[in-house]
Amino acid sequence: MKSDFEFLLDMIIGPREFFYVMECDVCGFDEIHFQHPITKKQIGIACKGCHFVCKLDFVANPNDNNRYFSISY
């Protein structure tokens, strides 16, 4: 059975797989970075300890070849 936090990740980040794990700067618990299962691009960060979820949306800038990203909390 999925936890409430897993349902939250499903709603905000969607399909995902683990990219890497590091220590959360806020609570010291595991901060998990996720990547998209097909494109393998990083799509989000989450920490179950402090209930932090962040979706990363990479967007191409039409004016140049640089890429930037927006963050959704």
Provide the pLDDT for residue 1. Answer: 82
Provide the pLDDT for residue 24. Answer: 93
Provide the pLDDT for residue 13. Answer: 92
Provide the pLDDT for residue 12. Answer: 92
The domains of the chain are located at 4-72
Instruction: Give whole-number Cα distances, 36 to 8, 19, 50, 55, 65, in Å.
Output: 16, 9, 23, 11, 22
CA 11: distance to chain centroid? 12
Count of CA atoms in the C-beta half-sphere (13 A) of 54: 14
> Per-residue confidence of the chain (73 residues) as pLDDT tens digits?
888 999 999 999 999 999 999 999 999 999 999 999 998 989 999 999 998 999 988 665 556 555 555 555 5
Please tell me the pTM assigned to this model: 0.76
CA 25/CA 53 separation, integer angstroms: 14
